[in-house]
Chain A
Amino acid sequence: MKRYVVTAFIWLLLVLPLQAAAEELLMARSKQPFPETMLALQESIRAHGYTVSRVQRVDIGLTGMGYKTDKYRIVFAGKLDEIRYLSEKAPQLIPYLPPKISIFAEGSQTILVSANPKLYAEIAGDAVEPAFFDRWESDLRSIFYDVSKAE
């Protein structure tokens, strides 16, 4: 009995702060310029066991249109076995795969944005265990943490 009480207490202490911080978009700011941040991002993605499948430019001609930056990329990343698993189990997720991270310059710093993987759990419904996406969220937060602390 005591053990359950202790476990419940620890769970409450750990989970309540996360509840307060539930976010639909995950965002991070790197104090480094865009090229260094892009490098740190790709390194951290690989260190977490994911493959960068494509880096898409979406900024061609931005400065010509009067924007202050032309550094905007979309980084697609995933694990082959997981993408295959999800596209079979929950085909409604396919339009959202592989997961992506937007990265863009803001002055001399850089901002990262991604959907919270909880979104995918909502789309997948009962077809996939929510724990699958909890792990993605944890990895994504860890990647963003790495990038924001990179020097």
Chain B
Amino acid sequence: MRLIILVFLSSIGVAALAAPDGEQLYTRHCATCHGDKGGGGVGVPLALPTFLESADDDFLRKTVRHGRPGRVMPAFPKFSDAQLDALVGYIRAWSGKPAPRFVATPVKADPVHGKALFATYCAACHGANGEGGKGTGVTFSRRRDLPIIAPALNNTGFLKAATDEMIRHTLLYGRIGTPMRSFLEQGLSEEDISDLVAYVRSFEKQAGDSKPARVVPEEKIIIVESPYTLEETVENLKNAIVSQNFLLIRTDLLEHGLVEEGKESKQEVILHFCNFKFLYDALAIDPRVGLFLPCRVTVVEREGKVQVMTINPLYLSHLFNNEELDEACKHMHGIYTAIIEDATL
């Protein structure tokens, strides 16, 4: 028996001490969004040759470590250094070339001139304040011939990960296969490009000064007691849903499909509804929004008391690390509240 335990412990010990496997880490944590071979999808196409040529290993490591707050890419703060090295090594191998090396010395240049250049050359794609392009990957929100969304240059995760020299390199040479063109070819001088880098770096201070931390709401659901009977409340809700320009898809019971028809509990009635314009907009923001769909409100009766309840979209949104989605959820929260108030007044 002792021998079995010893062998078992040894095998676990060996597995734990063995070097992390980059491919396994990638498959488990990255492939769903970035694609099996880095072709992109919900996430950016990491295998794009010009991306790997202009991103050094430290940039990749820090990107995994810090993520992109509010821009879908999650942070993996608990990865060990060895895990990060293994993961980055696996991604790097796709290019078949050694990693570029950039010095960490800050570029000293004129951010005021850089700001003017940014407005002319960069803002159309990267946003007036460097907030980046809209949407998430190419899954639903973009055409597949535009494989990359303009990154949010003012994002704290990006600014932590990218050195000035790396940004400068990208501006000098562009990224073939994306809309990012070489600024030298567009007629800017190397001095102009350094000014642009200085301006992008200045976002660091702005981001730190103005951005409030994301707060997870305490309320997990929206719940209101109804003064009406269950049947009356359901009818009121149907009218309220239509008055908010939503289409009532169907009314059914919580236990529908789980038990023989007719034997479901009648105390939990769900109203499903949709507004297609709102749906399309939401899918363009984040293709994973199915967790909010379809919109629904549930009427629950317990001991003669009738309550109307629904998810709190603001709470659910915290799972997605997507600021654009947070905004849409504020809107949805307002609609749910209006429907429920209208039905229970």
Which residues of A come within 8 Å of B, CB atoms? 6, 9-10, 13, 19-25, 27-29, 31, 51-54, 56, 58, 60-62, 65, 67-69, 72, 74, 76, 78-80, 83-84, 87, 91-92, 94-98, 100, 102-104, 106-107, 109, 111, 113-116, 119, 122-123
B341 on interface, CB distance cutoff 8 Å:
no
What per-residue 1/0 map shows which CB atoms of B283-303 lie under 8 Å from chain A?
100011111011010101010
**Which one, B13, B272, B280, B320, contacts A25 given CB within 8 A?**
B320
Question: Is A111's CB under 8 angstroms from B139's CB?
Answer: yes
**Which one, A28, A69, A76, A100, contacts B32 given CB within 8 A?**
A28
Interface core residue of A21, A58, A80, A116 (most chain B CB under 10 Å): A58
Nearest Cβ distance between residue A11 and chain B, in whole angstroms?
A: 11
What per-residue 1/0 map shows which CB atoms of B252-281 lie under 8 Å from chain A?
001111110000010010001010100110
On whether A58 and B254 interact (CB within 8 A), knowing A20-B79, A20-B83, the answer reads: no
Given known contacts A20-B83, A56-B294, A119-B319, what 10 new A-B pairs fall within 8 Å (CB)?
A20-B76, A25-B319, A74-B293, A87-B268, A91-B300, A104-B287, A106-B42, A107-B41, A115-B316, A123-B220
Chain B neighbourhood of A94, CB < 8 A: 254, 268, 298, 300, 309
Chain A neighbourhood of B293, CB < 8 A: 56, 58, 74, 102
Question: Complex formed: what's the CA distance from A55 to B16 in Å?
Answer: 41
5 A-B contacts (beta carbon < 8 Å): A83-B254, A92-B221, A98-B258, A106-B139, A123-B220
B122 on interface, CB distance cutoff 8 Å:
no
Question: Complex formed: what's the CA distance from A90 to B84 in Å?
Answer: 40
**Which one, B83, B223, B254, contacts A87 given CB within 8 A?**
B254
Chain B neighbourhood of A53, CB < 8 A: 255-258
Interface core residue of B12, B265, B291 (most chain A CB under 10 Å): B291
Residue of A nearest to B76 (CB): A20
B36 on interface, CB distance cutoff 8 Å:
yes
B33 on interface, CB distance cutoff 8 Å:
yes
Sorting the interface of chain B by its residue count into under 10, 10 to 19, 20 to 34 or 35 or more gives: 35 or more
**Interface of chain A, helix or strand or loop or mixed?**
mixed
Question: Is A95's CB under 8 angstroms from B310's CB?
Answer: yes
Chain A neighbourhood of B78, CB < 8 A: 19-22
Name the 9 nearest CB pairs between A and B, nearest first: A102-B290, A53-B257, A20-B78, A27-B32, A80-B258, A24-B319, A29-B32, A123-B220, A113-B288
Question: Is B140's CB under 8 angstroms from A69's CB?
Answer: yes
Question: Complex formed: what's the CA distance from A72 to B319 in Å?
Answer: 20
B97 on interface, CB distance cutoff 8 Å:
no
**Which one, B31, B74, B223, contacts A92 given CB within 8 A?**
B223
Chain A neighbourhood of B276, CB < 8 A: 60-61
Chain B neighbourhood of A20, CB < 8 A: 76, 78-80, 83
Question: Complex formed: what's the CA distance from A72 to B290 in Å?
Answer: 8
Question: Complex formed: what's the CA distance from A31 to B31 in Å?
Answer: 11
B128 on interface, CB distance cutoff 8 Å:
no
On whether A113 and B290 interact (CB within 8 A), knowing A67-B283, A91-B300, A95-B221, the answer reads: yes
Question: Is A111's CB under 8 angstroms from B291's CB?
Answer: no
Chain B neighbourhood of A96, CB < 8 A: 311
Question: Is A92's CB under 8 angstroms from B41's CB?
Answer: no
Question: Is B291's CB under 8 angstroms from A115's CB?
Answer: yes
Chain B neighbourhood of A119, CB < 8 A: 319
Chain A neighbourhood of B280, CB < 8 A: 62, 65, 67
Nearest Cβ distance between residue B206 and chain A, in whole angstroms?
A: 28
Chain B neighbourhood of A24, CB < 8 A: 318-319
Question: Is B290's CB under 8 angstroms from A104's CB?
Answer: yes
Chain A neighbourhood of B257, CB < 8 A: 51-54, 76
